[in-house]
Structure 1
Amino acid sequence: MTQRSGSADLPLHGGRVPKWLDDRMTRLGAVLCEAIIHHYGRDELLRRLAHPFWFQSFGAVMGMDWHSSGITTSVIGALKRGLTPLSGELGIHVCGGRGSHSRKTPHELEMIGERVGIDGAALATASRLVAKVDSAAVQDGFDLYLHGFIVTDDSRWVVVQQGMNGDRRQARRYHWLSEGLRSFVDQPHAAIEGERQGEIVNLTDHRAEASRSGQLDLLRQLGPDRIVHEFAALEPATASAKRDSAQPMLPNLVMPAHHDVRESDIVMRRLHGNISAAIESGPTDFPELLLVPGVGARTVRALAMVAEVVHGAPCRFSDPARFSLAHGGKDRHPFPVPLKVYDETIAVMKSAVAKAKLGREEELGALQRLDGQARRLERYVTGPSLKEIVAGEFDQSHLLGGRSVFGPEPPPAPPAQPLPAAAPKRSG
């Protein structure tokens, strides 16, 4: 039985993803999914997408705003564009999206069903039920505006959908996983993300089974008008009653409102492990990665975090901000996106996956070893502070093709020169 596995507060952010980043997110997202499927299979990719901490880290490593609600929209969009041309090969299909695209999901699922021979009508019903549960059965103050449905050729699926609370400028993301799902109305969620904002009416909780049955009985026996009258009489007592909750404390990923990345947002020993694996081990222990033209130590550092997204255990994603240190962020937080590094990362991953399909596992194996080396090194290595790391990125940003929504990153201003000393005055 799936159950709620965590929560997070996601600040609402407006704006659009620029095309130069959108295209790269599409390519990197697709090749990372290919690598995960190659190593672990389609079901494992669905489990990752159903994990809110991994999902946030996945978006951060692709250069999106590491803490914002925009990651949900941009990741679903990138996967839909990147995986659709590969759907015949990988057997995975991405449907839905934001706004009007979400309402097309049932039709898309029916079309996929006809094409690949699965029950598209049942999937369309599942899509509608998932949306209805999170908009009606769970009344938590968030209005749904995004619905992404990812399904495989053997009818396994994951849903990622998001609601917003405009007054609070916050979003809540819901994750559903078909694996182990027995009921749409009795604890069906794989995860619900969002900050606690008072009492929530959650009729999908297994403790609400009596309430669900009682509501149907009341409707049959009394009718809607009598129910409204009875509720009005009970409301004062209900408002003052204290409710006892047996709900256990769940892991709570809090995405802060501040846009800058701070040391408090990162497990620094993990970051030092990523950096050390690239600097100390990359050039000597992983020559396969350096055979791709143009790849240097900075790209290997990004690849150490990319490799962790592919191979990391769930506990490794408690600090999604760390993954923004791979390719920066579109709003210059923690630093502008280094396009040269980003493109080299895509090139390495595409080369590794293409060769692995032909039975040559050297490059994908090197990435897996790089991830393992980072974990070993983090036990004892130390390194620079986050402030020093970010300052170094800004210093070389113009050399690495640094870019943000504000445009290309210019060279840093030269240090101010001291004024020349005034000549001494001559006397008489």
Structure 2
Amino acid sequence: MARRTGSADLPLHGGRVPPWLSARMASLGAVICQAIVHEYGRDELLARLAHPFWFQSFGSVMGMDWHSSGVTTTVIGALKRGLRPIQDELGVYVCGGRGKQSRQTPHELGALGDRVGIDADALTRTSRLVAKVDSAAVQDGFDLYLHGFFATCDGHWTVVQQGMNTGTRQARRYHWCSQLQSNFIDEPHAAIDGPQQGEIVNLTDRRAAASRSAQLDLLSTLGPDKIVSELMTEERTGAGAVLEEQQQLSLPHLSMPAHHEVRSSDVFIRRLHGTLAAAAEQGPKDFPDLLLTPGVGARTVQSLAMVAEVLHGAPYRFQDPARFSLAHGGKDRHPYPVPTKVYDETIRVLKSAVEKAKLGNAETLAALKRLDAQARQLERTVSGPSFEEYVAQELASSSSLGGRSVFGWEAPPPPSAKAGKTRGAA
């Protein structure tokens, strides 16, 4: 993947992920990572985790809130749990996390180095340095509270960390990747996600090199105590230097809205139509055995088509993370309750595909790739239901698909609604 990233507004949301969803997220996240490593290698997985748009879409396809800051915490936690049993086989390791877990990162890296043989001291220094840069060198009003460190047996790494601004109720996520940066202090970020906060002090911009040098000269000449004394004198007299405004980095900006519900304006509808058409046309060809399984049908193939895009899509495909929430819904019933039967079948098909691929039979994984290619081809010409019609159909079928949210199991629709239900089996 190219170094094409940007920024995003992430509203802070409270609440917890229920165990029934947390376990599924760990399973689905792990098997998607396995498929990416099998198809493209470990470095590609690191590059995708370092891409903020892909990361948000990844969390959405796993049934997490499609736009909230909680995606960062839950995705890192899910991968840490899901990859642990296969980490040595896959060569991918997850350290750190939120709060106390973030402070365990050096210890976890040290233990990993002893067991696997990678340079733990270098990785630990990296972990501390990127945290220091995002908390000190980039002064944007966000206090770090989460630090996730992804490492491979090759010694490559990606860091995903997040800060919060309690005053604005927003979060900013920072992405780093060892394969996508030249050094730590000259524009080192793979991306910075978060809301616009006016002028930001970013001493990592290469255009700030003169400022960094001047600060070092000032420190060596006056010393830290003298600098503090001078600043206090200036504040008392009302004097002070007028600093030249630094032009900030111009990155693509993904604005995650404050509204919790998924709206039609949040989704590229032609891409949804392409997915639906590919599931209907290519699904029976690629997954005949799946469609003959009792209780499994076109609805699962639709989810598989969206997962296939997460596996194979180019960076520009993830500009609307909300669309990926249509694969498995959301825990808070947005855009609709999680269809647990569909979710479980998605995991089953992917696990089977990966296991077969390990044994030399990559046909099912290849079918997923064809499904994604067909969706991209069809989206240019096909039409389909409106977003509102699609969601209404899903809600009408929710109870039959095992619909569940933090509010409980979805109740069957009233008899009048059943008559109009159009969705088939999972």
Same fold per TM (> 0.5)?
Answer: yes
Q: Which residue in 1 is equivalent to 2:351?
A: 350
Flag the 1:293–1:41 CA change in 2: closer, same or farther, 3 A: farther
2:309 corresponds to 1:305 = no
Flag the 1:3–1:211 CA change in 2: closer, same or farther, 3 A: farther
Task: Determine if contact 2:61/2:328 at 8 Å carries over to the other structure.
Answer: yes
Flag the 1:15–1:43 CA change in 2: closer, same or farther, 3 A: same
CA distance in 2, matches of 1:293, 1:115: 45
Task: Determine if contact 1:398/1:410 at 8 Å carries over to the other structure.
Answer: yes
Task: Determine if contact 2:53/2:319 at 8 Å carries over to the other structure.
Answer: yes
Residue by residue, what CA displacement relative to the aligned partner does 1:124-173 show, whole Å, maximum 9, x if unpaired?
A: 11101111110111110000000000000010000000000011000000
Q: Which residue in 2 is equivalent to 1:187?
A: 187
Residue by residue, what CA displacement relative to the aligned partner does 1:301-352 show, whole Å, maximum 9, x if unpaired?
A: 0000000000101111010000000000000000000000000000000011
**SS of equivalent residue, structure 2 residue 223:** helix
Q: Which residue in 2 is equivalent to 1:412?
A: 413
Q: Which residue in 2 is equivalent to 1:388?
A: 389
Residue by residue, what CA displacement relative to the aligned partner does 1:237-261 show, whole Å, maximum 9, x if unpaired?
A: 768777362x453210010000111
CA distance in 2, matches of 1:211, 1:395: 60
Q: Which residue in 2 is equivalent to 1:374?
A: 375
CA distance in 1, matches of 2:307, 2:144: 31
Flag the 1:378–1:180 CA change in 2: closer, same or farther, 3 A: closer
CA distance in 2, matches of 1:228, 1:413: 71
Amino acid at match of 1:298: R
Offset, 1:232: 5.4
Q: Which residue in 2 is equivalent to 1:117?
A: 117
Offset, 1:186: 1.6
Greater Rg over alpha carbons, structure:
1
Flag the 1:170–1:40 CA change in 2: closer, same or farther, 3 A: same
Flag the 1:201–1:248 CA change in 2: closer, same or farther, 3 A: closer
Flag the 1:222–1:21 CA change in 2: closer, same or farther, 3 A: same
Aligned length in residues: 414
CA distance in 2, matches of 1:103, 1:62: 27
CA distance in 2, matches of 1:305, 1:293: 22
Gap regions ≥5 residues in structure 1: 417-428
**SS of equivalent residue, structure 2 residue 108:** helix
Task: Determine if contact 1:54/1:309 at 8 Å carries over to the other structure.
Answer: yes
Q: Which residue in 2 is equivalent to 1:57?
A: 57
Q: Which residue in 2 is equivalent to 1:329?
A: 330
CA distance in 1, matches of 2:294, 2:87: 30
Offset, 1:413: 3.1
- Single out whichever of 113-122 and 280-289 deviates more from structure 2: 280-289
Q: Which residue in 2 is equivalent to 1:403?
A: 404
Residue by residue, what CA displacement relative to the aligned partner does 1:162-217 show, whole Å, maximum 9, x if unpaired?
A: 00001100000000000143322221100000111111111111111222221121
CA distance in 2, matches of 1:212, 1:152: 33
Q: Which residue in 2 is equivalent to 1:420?
A: none
**SS of equivalent residue, structure 2 residue 158:** strand
CA distance in 2, matches of 1:240, 1:280: 64
Q: Which residue in 1 is equivalent to 2:133?
A: 133
Offset, 1:229: 4.5
Q: Which residue in 2 is equivalent to 1:425?
A: none
Offset, 1:294: 4.0
CA distance in 2, matches of 1:3, 1:359: 32
RMSD, matched Cα = 1.9
Residue by residue, what CA displacement relative to the aligned partner does 1:16-38 show, whole Å, maximum 9, x if unpaired?
A: 10000000000000000000001
CA distance in 2, matches of 1:215, 1:382: 59
CA distance in 2, matches of 1:61, 1:357: 24
Q: Which residue in 1 is equivalent to 2:29?
A: 29
Gap regions ≥5 residues in structure 2: 418-426
Q: Which residue in 2 is equivalent to 1:363?
A: 364
Offset, 1:284: 3.5
Name the TM-score, length of structure 1 as normaliser.
0.93
**SS of equivalent residue, structure 1 residue 384:** coil
Flag the 1:129–1:384 CA change in 2: closer, same or farther, 3 A: same
The share of aligned pairs that are identical, in percent, is: 71
Task: Determine if contact 2:5/2:53 at 8 Å carries over to the other structure.
Answer: no
**SS of equivalent residue, structure 2 residue 144:** strand
Amino acid at match of 1:362: E
Q: Which residue in 2 is equivalent to 1:73?
A: 73
Mapping for residues 30-179 of structure 1, pairs under 5 Å: 30-179=30-179
Offset, 1:292: 5.8
Q: Which residue in 1 is equivalent to 2:207?
A: 207
CA distance in 1, matches of 2:284, 2:155: 43
Residue by residue, what CA displacement relative to the aligned partner does 1:16-62 show, whole Å, maximum 9, x if unpaired?
A: 10000000000000000000001000000000000000000000000
Flag the 1:133–1:73 CA change in 2: closer, same or farther, 3 A: same
Task: Determine if contact 2:205/2:249 at 8 Å carries over to the other structure.
Answer: no
Residue by residue, what CA displacement relative to the aligned partner does 1:362-411 show, whole Å, maximum 9, x if unpaired?
A: 11111110111101110100111111100111101000000000000001
CA distance in 1, matches of 2:309, 2:277: 14
2:9 corresponds to 1:9 = yes
CA distance in 2, matches of 1:192, 1:234: 34
Task: Determine if contact 1:138/1:202 at 8 Å carries over to the other structure.
Answer: yes
Flag the 1:228–1:298 CA change in 2: closer, same or farther, 3 A: same
Flag the 1:267–1:66 CA change in 2: closer, same or farther, 3 A: same
Name the TM-score, length of structure 2 as normaliser.
0.93
Task: Determine if contact 1:57/1:309 at 8 Å carries over to the other structure.
Answer: yes
Flag the 1:376–1:61 CA change in 2: closer, same or farther, 3 A: same
Task: Determine if contact 2:11/2:258 at 8 Å carries over to the other structure.
Answer: yes
Flag the 1:212–1:248 CA change in 2: closer, same or farther, 3 A: closer
Amino acid at match of 1:20: W
Offset, 1:219: 1.6
**SS of equivalent residue, structure 1 residue 334:** coil
